[in-house]
Amino acid sequence: MAAFPSPAKGYEEQPIGDTITEHLIPKPSSTITVKADEYNDYLGLNNGDPLVVELDRRPHDGCTALVEQDGDIFFGKLFWRKGKWYISTGERAGVVTENMTLKGVATFVVKDQL
């Protein structure tokens, strides 16, 4: 008597990686980790939260970006509106200017759940 194959055959989940690092940092050569240096309720960041930032990732509407302006490096949320990029940190908001440099886009935030 022949047995039927498992109904789950072909639907098995692939492992996310041998380590959590492989999952969070798929491109190690262009990825850095940065710790949030202050509490920011608007961005959902606590002081010390590690963020995985891809340096070569293109920004997208609503992304959390690492930005440099006049030597100051900070996180902000980018928005695309009416053909222009806008940035908001919760305290400051406005049009992205020429003296701002996008350092990278945060792909993950590791939250302390304890």
3-state secondary structure of 113: coil
User: What is the pLDDT, as a whole number, of residue 27?
Assistant: 85
**SS in 3 state form for the chain?**
CCCCCCCCCCCCCCCCCCCHHHHHCCCHHHEEEEECCCCECCCCECCCCEEEEECCCCCCCCCEEEEEECCEEEEEEEEEECCEEEEECCCCEEECCCCEEEEEEEEEECCCCC
User: What is the pLDDT, as a whole number, of residue 95?
Assistant: 95
8 A C-beta contact, residue 99 and residue 86: no
User: What is the pLDDT, as a whole number, of residue 16?
Assistant: 65
Reading the chain (114 residues) residue by residue, the pLDDT tens digits are 567 777 877 777 776 666 777 777 878 899 999 999 889 999 999 988 999 999 989 999 999 999 999 999 999 999 999 999 999 998 889 999 999 999 999 999 988 765
User: What is the pLDDT, as a whole number, of residue 4?
Assistant: 77
User: What is the pLDDT, as a whole number, of residue 58?
Assistant: 94
The DSSP symbol for 29 reads: G
